[in-house]
Amino acid sequence: MPTRTSRRQALKALAFGAAALTLDASNLTASATEEDETPAWKGRINHSVCRWCFNDIPLEEFCQAVKALGIPAIDLVGPKDWPVLKQHGLYSSMCNGAEINLIHGWNHTEYHETLIKNYTEMIPLVAKAGYRNLICFSGNRNGMDDETGLKNSVAGLQKIMPLAEQHGVVIIMELLNSKVDHKDYMCDKSPWGVELCKRLSSENFKLLYDIYHMQIDEGDVIHTIRDHHAYFAHYHTAGVPGRHEIDDTQELYYPAIMRAIADTGFKGYVAQEFIPIQPNKLESLRKAVEICDV
Protein backbone atom coordinates (compact mmCIF):
# COMPACT_ATOMS: atom_id res chain seq x y z
CA MET A 1 0.00 0.00 0.00
CA PRO A 2 1.26 3.52 -0.76
CA THR A 3 0.90 4.91 2.77
CA ARG A 4 1.83 3.99 6.31
CA THR A 5 -0.85 3.39 8.94
CA SER A 6 -0.08 6.76 10.53
CA ARG A 7 -0.87 8.55 7.25
CA ARG A 8 -4.13 6.66 6.86
CA GLN A 9 -5.10 7.64 10.38
CA ALA A 10 -4.27 11.26 9.71
CA LEU A 11 -6.46 11.27 6.62
CA LYS A 12 -9.33 9.53 8.37
CA ALA A 13 -9.24 12.19 11.05
CA LEU A 14 -10.65 14.68 8.52
CA ALA A 15 -14.22 15.35 9.63
CA PHE A 16 -17.39 17.27 8.79
CA GLY A 17 -17.61 21.01 8.15
CA ALA A 18 -15.30 23.66 6.80
CA ALA A 19 -13.78 24.42 10.20
CA ALA A 20 -13.00 20.78 10.82
CA LEU A 21 -11.60 20.41 7.33
CA THR A 22 -9.34 23.40 7.91
CA LEU A 23 -8.06 22.02 11.19
CA ASP A 24 -7.58 18.52 9.85
CA ALA A 25 -5.79 19.69 6.73
CA SER A 26 -3.38 21.62 8.94
CA ASN A 27 -2.84 18.56 11.11
CA LEU A 28 -2.28 16.47 7.99
CA THR A 29 0.40 18.87 6.80
CA ALA A 30 2.05 18.86 10.21
CA SER A 31 2.00 15.08 10.19
CA ALA A 32 3.66 15.02 6.79
CA THR A 33 6.38 17.36 8.03
CA GLU A 34 7.00 15.30 11.14
CA GLU A 35 7.19 12.04 9.21
CA ASP A 36 9.07 13.55 6.26
CA GLU A 37 6.95 11.27 4.12
CA THR A 38 4.50 11.53 1.25
CA PRO A 39 2.63 8.61 -0.30
CA ALA A 40 4.88 6.57 -2.58
CA TRP A 41 2.75 6.52 -5.73
CA LYS A 42 4.07 4.32 -8.53
CA GLY A 43 4.77 7.08 -11.06
CA ARG A 44 3.03 5.67 -14.15
CA ILE A 45 0.16 8.13 -13.70
CA ASN A 46 0.69 11.83 -12.95
CA HIS A 47 -2.09 12.62 -10.51
CA SER A 48 -4.05 15.85 -10.18
CA VAL A 49 -7.38 16.97 -8.73
CA CYS A 50 -9.94 19.52 -9.86
CA ARG A 51 -10.25 22.44 -7.49
CA TRP A 52 -13.99 23.07 -7.98
CA CYS A 53 -14.96 19.64 -6.60
CA PHE A 54 -13.55 20.69 -3.21
CA ASN A 55 -14.51 24.37 -3.20
CA ASP A 56 -15.88 24.15 0.34
CA ILE A 57 -12.32 23.64 1.60
CA PRO A 58 -10.37 26.93 1.64
CA LEU A 59 -7.66 26.88 -1.00
CA GLU A 60 -4.79 27.22 1.47
CA GLU A 61 -5.95 24.20 3.47
CA PHE A 62 -6.77 22.26 0.32
CA CYS A 63 -3.26 22.81 -1.01
CA GLN A 64 -1.83 21.56 2.27
CA ALA A 65 -3.95 18.41 2.11
CA VAL A 66 -3.20 17.79 -1.58
CA LYS A 67 0.52 18.17 -0.92
CA ALA A 68 0.34 15.77 2.01
CA LEU A 69 -1.42 13.22 -0.20
CA GLY A 70 1.49 13.30 -2.63
CA ILE A 71 -0.62 14.83 -5.42
CA PRO A 72 1.63 17.23 -7.36
CA ALA A 73 -0.96 19.33 -9.20
CA ILE A 74 -4.39 20.97 -9.10
CA ASP A 75 -6.67 21.43 -12.12
CA LEU A 76 -8.84 24.36 -13.20
CA VAL A 77 -7.12 27.16 -11.34
CA GLY A 78 -6.82 30.69 -12.71
CA PRO A 79 -4.13 33.38 -12.36
CA LYS A 80 -5.32 34.86 -9.07
CA ASP A 81 -4.77 31.53 -7.29
CA TRP A 82 -1.52 30.49 -8.96
CA PRO A 83 0.59 32.16 -6.23
CA VAL A 84 -1.07 29.97 -3.59
CA LEU A 85 -0.26 26.83 -5.57
CA LYS A 86 3.32 27.96 -6.07
CA GLN A 87 3.67 28.63 -2.34
CA HIS A 88 2.90 24.95 -1.73
CA GLY A 89 5.00 23.62 -4.60
CA LEU A 90 1.92 22.54 -6.59
CA TYR A 91 1.55 22.72 -10.37
CA SER A 92 -1.46 24.19 -12.21
CA SER A 93 -2.06 21.24 -14.51
CA MET A 94 -5.02 22.78 -16.34
CA CYS A 95 -5.34 26.55 -16.33
CA ASN A 96 -8.62 28.36 -16.87
CA GLY A 97 -9.96 31.89 -17.02
CA ALA A 98 -9.87 32.72 -20.74
CA GLU A 99 -13.14 31.00 -21.63
CA ILE A 100 -16.45 32.90 -21.60
CA ASN A 101 -18.31 29.91 -20.18
CA LEU A 102 -19.17 26.37 -21.27
CA ILE A 103 -22.06 27.29 -23.58
CA HIS A 104 -20.64 30.29 -25.45
CA GLY A 105 -17.62 28.90 -27.26
CA TRP A 106 -15.58 28.68 -30.44
CA ASN A 107 -18.32 27.13 -32.59
CA HIS A 108 -20.23 30.44 -32.83
CA THR A 109 -18.49 33.26 -34.65
CA GLU A 110 -20.24 35.98 -32.64
CA TYR A 111 -18.05 35.02 -29.65
CA HIS A 112 -14.76 34.98 -31.54
CA GLU A 113 -13.80 38.58 -30.87
CA THR A 114 -14.15 38.14 -27.10
CA LEU A 115 -12.49 34.73 -27.09
CA ILE A 116 -9.55 35.84 -29.22
CA LYS A 117 -8.99 38.80 -26.90
CA ASN A 118 -9.24 36.62 -23.78
CA TYR A 119 -6.89 33.92 -25.02
CA THR A 120 -4.43 36.39 -26.50
CA GLU A 121 -4.11 37.94 -23.04
CA MET A 122 -4.07 34.64 -21.12
CA ILE A 123 -1.62 32.59 -23.20
CA PRO A 124 1.45 34.69 -22.25
CA LEU A 125 0.38 34.65 -18.59
CA VAL A 126 0.20 30.84 -18.59
CA ALA A 127 3.65 30.59 -20.16
CA LYS A 128 5.18 33.18 -17.84
CA ALA A 129 3.87 31.27 -14.82
CA GLY A 130 5.61 28.12 -16.10
CA TYR A 131 2.41 26.29 -17.02
CA ARG A 132 1.36 24.61 -20.25
CA ASN A 133 -2.33 23.67 -20.51
CA LEU A 134 -5.19 26.15 -21.05
CA ILE A 135 -8.77 24.92 -21.33
CA CYS A 136 -11.36 25.90 -23.91
CA PHE A 137 -14.89 24.83 -24.89
CA SER A 138 -16.80 24.32 -28.12
CA GLY A 139 -19.99 25.91 -26.84
CA ASN A 140 -23.56 24.75 -27.41
CA ARG A 141 -25.08 23.94 -30.80
CA ASN A 142 -28.17 26.17 -30.72
CA GLY A 143 -29.37 24.38 -33.85
CA MET A 144 -25.95 24.32 -35.55
CA ASP A 145 -24.81 21.24 -37.49
CA ASP A 146 -21.46 19.52 -36.85
CA GLU A 147 -19.74 20.70 -40.02
CA THR A 148 -20.59 24.37 -39.47
CA GLY A 149 -19.39 24.07 -35.89
CA LEU A 150 -16.09 22.60 -37.06
CA LYS A 151 -15.55 25.31 -39.68
CA ASN A 152 -16.37 28.10 -37.22
CA SER A 153 -14.15 26.62 -34.52
CA VAL A 154 -11.22 26.28 -36.91
CA ALA A 155 -11.65 29.84 -38.14
CA GLY A 156 -11.55 31.24 -34.62
CA LEU A 157 -8.91 29.00 -33.09
CA GLN A 158 -6.53 29.58 -36.00
CA LYS A 159 -6.30 33.20 -34.84
CA ILE A 160 -4.72 32.18 -31.50
CA MET A 161 -2.74 29.07 -32.40
CA PRO A 162 0.40 30.92 -33.59
CA LEU A 163 0.59 32.68 -30.22
CA ALA A 164 0.03 29.39 -28.37
CA GLU A 165 2.78 27.74 -30.41
CA GLN A 166 5.12 30.66 -29.81
CA HIS A 167 4.66 30.39 -26.03
CA GLY A 168 4.53 26.60 -25.80
CA VAL A 169 0.97 26.63 -24.48
CA VAL A 170 -1.47 23.86 -25.41
CA ILE A 171 -5.08 24.90 -25.98
CA ILE A 172 -7.21 21.99 -24.81
CA MET A 173 -10.90 21.57 -25.63
CA GLU A 174 -12.89 19.48 -23.19
CA LEU A 175 -15.21 16.69 -24.30
CA LEU A 176 -18.44 16.95 -22.29
CA ASN A 177 -21.57 14.81 -22.37
CA SER A 178 -24.73 16.37 -23.80
CA LYS A 179 -27.03 13.66 -22.48
CA VAL A 180 -27.03 14.41 -18.75
CA ASP A 181 -24.92 17.37 -17.67
CA HIS A 182 -24.40 19.75 -20.60
CA LYS A 183 -27.42 19.61 -22.87
CA ASP A 184 -26.72 20.75 -26.44
CA TYR A 185 -22.90 20.95 -26.02
CA MET A 186 -21.27 20.41 -29.41
CA CYS A 187 -17.95 18.71 -28.57
CA ASP A 188 -19.76 15.75 -27.04
CA LYS A 189 -18.17 12.92 -29.03
CA SER A 190 -14.52 11.99 -29.58
CA PRO A 191 -14.79 11.88 -33.40
CA TRP A 192 -15.89 15.55 -33.57
CA GLY A 193 -13.04 16.63 -31.32
CA VAL A 194 -10.47 14.51 -33.16
CA GLU A 195 -11.61 15.97 -36.47
CA LEU A 196 -11.14 19.47 -35.07
CA CYS A 197 -7.60 18.54 -34.03
CA LYS A 198 -6.85 17.20 -37.49
CA ARG A 199 -8.12 20.34 -39.22
CA LEU A 200 -6.11 22.64 -36.95
CA SER A 201 -3.04 20.40 -37.41
CA SER A 202 -1.13 21.82 -34.45
CA GLU A 203 0.60 19.99 -31.62
CA ASN A 204 -0.59 22.89 -29.47
CA PHE A 205 -4.25 22.00 -29.83
CA LYS A 206 -5.48 18.83 -28.12
CA LEU A 207 -8.49 17.38 -26.29
CA LEU A 208 -9.35 16.81 -22.66
CA TYR A 209 -10.83 13.32 -22.64
CA ASP A 210 -13.21 13.30 -19.70
CA ILE A 211 -13.80 9.63 -18.93
CA TYR A 212 -17.04 10.28 -17.05
CA HIS A 213 -18.55 12.38 -19.82
CA MET A 214 -17.51 10.08 -22.63
CA GLN A 215 -18.76 6.96 -20.88
CA ILE A 216 -22.18 8.59 -20.85
CA ASP A 217 -22.21 9.82 -24.45
CA GLU A 218 -20.24 7.16 -26.34
CA GLY A 219 -18.84 4.42 -24.08
CA ASP A 220 -16.05 2.18 -25.42
CA VAL A 221 -13.57 4.12 -23.27
CA ILE A 222 -10.45 1.95 -23.48
CA HIS A 223 -10.81 1.34 -27.22
CA THR A 224 -11.19 5.09 -27.79
CA ILE A 225 -8.10 5.86 -25.70
CA ARG A 226 -6.03 3.33 -27.62
CA ASP A 227 -7.20 4.62 -31.00
CA HIS A 228 -7.06 8.37 -30.39
CA HIS A 229 -4.59 8.94 -27.55
CA ALA A 230 -2.41 11.10 -29.78
CA TYR A 231 -5.12 13.76 -29.60
CA PHE A 232 -5.69 13.52 -25.82
CA ALA A 233 -3.49 15.77 -23.70
CA HIS A 234 -5.36 15.44 -20.41
CA TYR A 235 -7.85 13.17 -18.65
CA HIS A 236 -10.58 13.67 -16.02
CA THR A 237 -12.28 11.03 -13.89
CA ALA A 238 -15.60 10.56 -12.06
CA GLY A 239 -17.95 7.74 -11.24
CA VAL A 240 -20.76 6.77 -13.62
CA PRO A 241 -23.63 7.23 -12.93
CA GLY A 242 -23.79 10.25 -10.64
CA ARG A 243 -20.31 11.81 -11.00
CA HIS A 244 -19.33 10.73 -7.50
CA GLU A 245 -16.58 8.51 -6.05
CA ILE A 246 -14.84 6.14 -8.48
CA ASP A 247 -15.20 3.13 -6.18
CA ASP A 248 -17.17 -0.09 -6.62
CA THR A 249 -20.50 1.76 -6.46
CA GLN A 250 -20.20 2.75 -10.15
CA GLU A 251 -19.86 1.02 -13.50
CA LEU A 252 -16.37 1.98 -14.67
CA TYR A 253 -13.31 -0.05 -13.70
CA TYR A 254 -10.69 2.64 -13.40
CA PRO A 255 -7.59 0.45 -12.88
CA ALA A 256 -8.04 -1.01 -16.37
CA ILE A 257 -8.65 2.45 -17.85
CA MET A 258 -5.53 3.84 -16.16
CA ARG A 259 -3.43 0.92 -17.42
CA ALA A 260 -4.68 1.65 -20.93
CA ILE A 261 -3.69 5.31 -20.56
CA ALA A 262 -0.26 4.45 -19.15
CA ASP A 263 0.33 1.89 -21.89
CA THR A 264 0.00 4.62 -24.53
CA GLY A 265 3.05 6.33 -23.04
CA PHE A 266 0.98 9.25 -21.78
CA LYS A 267 3.04 11.70 -19.69
CA GLY A 268 0.38 14.31 -18.93
CA TYR A 269 -1.98 14.52 -15.96
CA VAL A 270 -5.03 12.55 -14.89
CA ALA A 271 -7.20 14.76 -12.67
CA GLN A 272 -9.86 13.52 -10.27
CA GLU A 273 -13.10 15.40 -11.03
CA PHE A 274 -15.64 13.50 -8.99
CA ILE A 275 -18.03 15.23 -6.58
CA PRO A 276 -17.48 13.46 -3.24
CA ILE A 277 -20.57 12.41 -1.33
CA GLN A 278 -18.81 10.59 1.49
CA PRO A 279 -18.41 12.75 4.63
CA ASN A 280 -14.63 12.40 4.59
CA LYS A 281 -13.96 14.06 1.24
CA LEU A 282 -10.19 13.96 1.41
CA GLU A 283 -10.22 10.26 2.24
CA SER A 284 -12.35 9.78 -0.89
CA LEU A 285 -9.69 11.67 -2.83
CA ARG A 286 -6.91 9.50 -1.40
CA LYS A 287 -8.82 6.35 -2.33
CA ALA A 288 -9.43 7.64 -5.86
CA VAL A 289 -5.75 8.28 -6.42
CA GLU A 290 -4.94 4.86 -5.01
CA ILE A 291 -7.43 3.24 -7.42
CA CYS A 292 -5.85 5.08 -10.36
CA ASP A 293 -2.26 4.46 -9.33
CA VAL A 294 -1.57 1.42 -11.51
Q: What is the CATH number of the domain that holds 171?
A: 3.20.20.150
Task: Give whole-number Cα distances, 279 to 14, 190, 275, 276, in Å.
Answer: 9, 34, 11, 8
Asked if the structure places residue 112 within a domain, the reply is yes
What are the tens digits of pLDDT across the range 142-164? Answer: 999 999 999 999 999 999 999 99
Asked if the structure places residue 104 within a domain, the reply is yes
Kindly indicate the confidence band of residue 40, based on its pLDDT and cuts at 50, 70 and 90: confident
28/9 Cα distance (integer angstroms): 10
The number of distinct structural domains making up the chain is 1
- 23 has pLDDT over 80: no
- Mean pLDDT, the chain, as a whole number? 90
Q: For residue 16, which amino acid is it? A: F
Find the mean pLDDT for residues 247-269. 97
Contacts of 221 (CB under 8 A, 6+ apart): 211, 214, 215, 252, 257
Residues recorded for the chain: 294
Asked if the structure places residue 20 within a domain, the reply is no
What are the tens digits of pLDDT across the range 90-119? Answer: 999 999 999 999 999 999 999 999 999 999
Asked if the structure places residue 285 within a domain, the reply is yes
Asked if the structure places residue 189 within a domain, the reply is yes
Asked if the structure places residue 60 within a domain, the reply is yes
- 27 has pLDDT over 80: no
Find the mean pLDDT for residues 206-229. 98
Kindly indicate the confidence band of residue 6, based on its pLDDT and cuts at 50, 70 and 90: very low
How far apart, in Å, do the first and last CA atoms of the chain sit?
A: 12
Q: What is the pLDDT of residue 30?
A: 37
Q: For residue 94, which amino acid is it? A: M
Asked if the structure places residue 12 within a domain, the reply is no
Give the domain range for residue 135.
44-292
Q: What is the pLDDT of residue 37?
A: 64
What are the tens digits of pLDDT across the range 164-196? Answer: 999 999 999 999 999 999 999 999 999 999 999
Give the percent of the chain with pLDDT over 70. Answer: 87
209/139 Cα distance (integer angstroms): 16
Contacts of 98 (CB under 8 A, 6+ apart): 115, 118, 119, 121, 122, 123, 134, 135, 136
CA angle at residue 271 from 267 to 272, to 5 degrees?
145
pTM, rounded to two decimals: 0.88
271/224 Cα distance (integer angstroms): 18
Asked if the structure places residue 22 within a domain, the reply is no
Q: For residue 225, which amino acid is it? A: I
